Structure 1
Amino acid sequence: MKKFIALLSLVLFFGFNGSAQTKIGGIVMPNVMKVDGEYLKMNGGGVREKYWIDLYVGVLYLENKSSDAEKIMSADEKMAIKLRIVSGMVSNSKLEDAVREGMEKSTKGNMEPYKARLEKLIKEGFGEDVEDGDIFDLVYVPGKGTSLIKNQKTLVTVEGLDFKKAIFGVWLCDEPAQESLKKKMLGN
């Protein structure tokens, strides 16, 4: 009976039409993500491209949908960005460079308050080789910080709402990694 109730709950939660997932750039991504015991909803997602090559699919998950980037970055509430690598062209060093460059833009060059925490994230989070199909989650939980999770394994957690704002800003700031990806993450 317990199994039946659990199955029925899942069906009702996800709906009868199989809408538990969304296809983005040919990649199936979940519409919800469980974070610290709570389900976050897909706000939007798109493909990060460079030189006409798809690099990864990026999806933003929030408690409540929003298209206000500044409000999202500043919010002290659970949220996540899921990145699904779709190219063998993505490597550890390229991810490191992209995160450093994105943080520089996100903080408008004021990196000093974030430098040590960013180095911790990079050192502990990008030590292993990156492969096509890897999934990286940046998950923020108030009071705990921002965790970098690779293929469901937590690699590092960095404290601070200010750091969350800066790292989420890589995709959501005024000079994001890619403007079209930002728009799609914001549901536009």
Structure 2
Amino acid sequence: MRKQVITFLMLMVTVFTVNAQQTVSGVKVDSKLNLEGQNLVLNGAGTRVKMFMDMYVGALYLEKKSSNANEIINSKDAAAIKLNIVSGLITSDKMVSAINEGFENSTGKKTAPLKAKIDKFKGFFKEEIKKGDVFVIIYNPEDGVVVYKNGTKKGSIDGHDFKKALFGIWLCDKPADKGLKDEMLGK
């Protein structure tokens, strides 16, 4: 009996250790994210693919898991999206262009009320972007959206309206990548 208990405990330790991280397109994705005073869990992760090439690994972190995109977009709870750049083809200009398109799709082409916030957000991506860069975009209900690049805080943008439009880039009805949306939703 004692041997069975020890074997069971060893199996449980192995299961929890294996589940602590997953690998997506060669990127180790942590099961938890602790940033800006928020403790978030991995909801899902996947790869942004464009023209059959992997561009970045996107991971969605939430306070509690959900597969409902609209609830996540509209939620006032803390949430984060982590982008690990896996392609040398992503440049600052291409990222800004993708952000523009994403906001257009996310808002149904109604970006005018958010123009100043979108412009500020795009400014966080003006520096050179290279393979291996990591962006964390976290929504903290007290501070709004805070952006980090390679662990350095780039700035913040207040407003739940901006958070909704931003998270909609990946989770709206016309997302940047349908497959990535499903993977972020844990489907």
**Are residue 175 (structure 1) and residue 174 (structure 2) matched?**
yes
TM-score normalized by the length of structure 2:
0.90
CA distance in 2, matches of 1:64, 1:104: 28
RMSD: 1.7
Shift of 1:26: 2.3
Aligned to 1:109: 109
Shift of 1:120: 0.8
CA distance in 1, matches of 2:41, 2:125: 27
CA contact (8 A) 1:35 1:78 kept: no
Aligned to 1:121: 121
Structure 2 residue runs of 5 or longer lacking an equivalent are: 1-13
Structure 1 residue runs of 5 or longer lacking an equivalent are: 1-13
| Secondary structure in structure 2 of the residue aligned to 1:175 | coil
- Of all paired residues, the percent bearing the same amino acid is 41
TM-score normalized by the length of structure 1:
0.89
- Which portions of structure 1, spanning 4 or more consecutive aligned residues, are displaced by more than 6 angstroms? none
CA distance in 1, matches of 2:146, 2:44: 20
Shift of 1:99: 0.6
Shift of 1:143: 2.3
Aligned to 1:133: 132
Shift of 1:51: 0.6
CA distance in 2, matches of 1:163, 1:132: 27
Describe the superposition over 1:38-61 as per-residue Cα deviations: whole angstroms up to 9, x where unpaired: 320000010001111100000000
Q: Which has the larger radius of gyration?
A: 2
| Secondary structure in structure 2 of the residue aligned to 1:47 | strand
| Secondary structure in structure 2 of the residue aligned to 1:180 | helix
| Secondary structure in structure 1 of the residue aligned to 2:19 | coil
Aligned to 1:98: 98
Describe the superposition over 1:113-157 as per-residue Cα deviations: whole angstroms up to 9, x where unpaired: 11011101112x012100100001110000211011100111020
Aligned to 1:24: 24
Note closer, same or farther for the CA distance 1:161–1:15 as it changes in structure 2 (3 Å cut): farther
Q: Aligned residue pairs: how many? A: 176
CA distance in 2, matches of 1:37, 1:106: 28
